[in-house]
Amino acid sequence: MHLTASIALAVSAFLTSSLESTDTLRIQPFSPAQTVEEYVRDYFADEPVMIAIAKCESQFRQTDKNGKLLKNANSSAIGVFQIMSSLHATGAEKNLGIDITTIEGNSAYARYLFENSGTKPWNASKACWGKTQEAKDHLASI
């Protein structure tokens, strides 16, 4: 995982604005027949750069080899999108009804962050995903 303090700074800057529910936020059920990668690819088919980010952040893992929630050893980052739980868990649950410890919630909150801040919350891993065609296409579209 490529997570550094800079992601915490970017994310905390985002949190200075209040979280508001959005009508476009879509929580997609996870099927046990799917892999996490299949789920992420399907959920973010419209935003391929987020697929590249998930690959870099967690190698498409929501849980570790023991089936426990994937956690960064050096921060409070969790799940497939390595969302900082110390910064986001309470607000995501309270204001949006999202549990970021689940694959559905982690992905939905990643979409919320992306819709409001673009790829900035994942700048710490940009050296990995920023080289991808998906990132180049995203930058060309904005």
Tens digit of each residue's pLDDT (9 = 90 or more) over 21-72: 445 578 888 988 899 999 999 999 999 999 999 999 999 999 999 999 999 9
Higher pLDDT, 94 or 22: 94
Question: What confidence category does residue 11 fall into, taking pLDDT thresholds of 50, 70 and 90?
Answer: very low
Per-residue pLDDT of 121-133, as tens digits, reads 999 999 999 999 9
pTM: 0.82
Mean per-residue pLDDT for 88-98?
96
Give the pLDDT confidence score for residue 24 in this predicted structure: 57
Please work out, in degrees rounded to the nearest 5, the angle formed at the alpha carbon of residue 115 by the alpha carbons of 100 and 73.
35
Exposed (0-12), middle (13-18) or buried (19+): which is 71, by Cβ within 10 Å? middle
Mean per-residue pLDDT for 11-27?
50
CB atoms within 10 A of CB 42: 14
Give the pLDDT confidence score for residue 142 in this predicted structure: 86
Burial annotation 114-134 (CB, 10 A radius, 16+ → b, else e): beebebbbbbbbbebbbebeb
Q: How far is CA 109 from CA 41, 78, 113, 116, in A?
A: 16, 12, 6, 11
Give me the chain's average pLDDT, please.
87
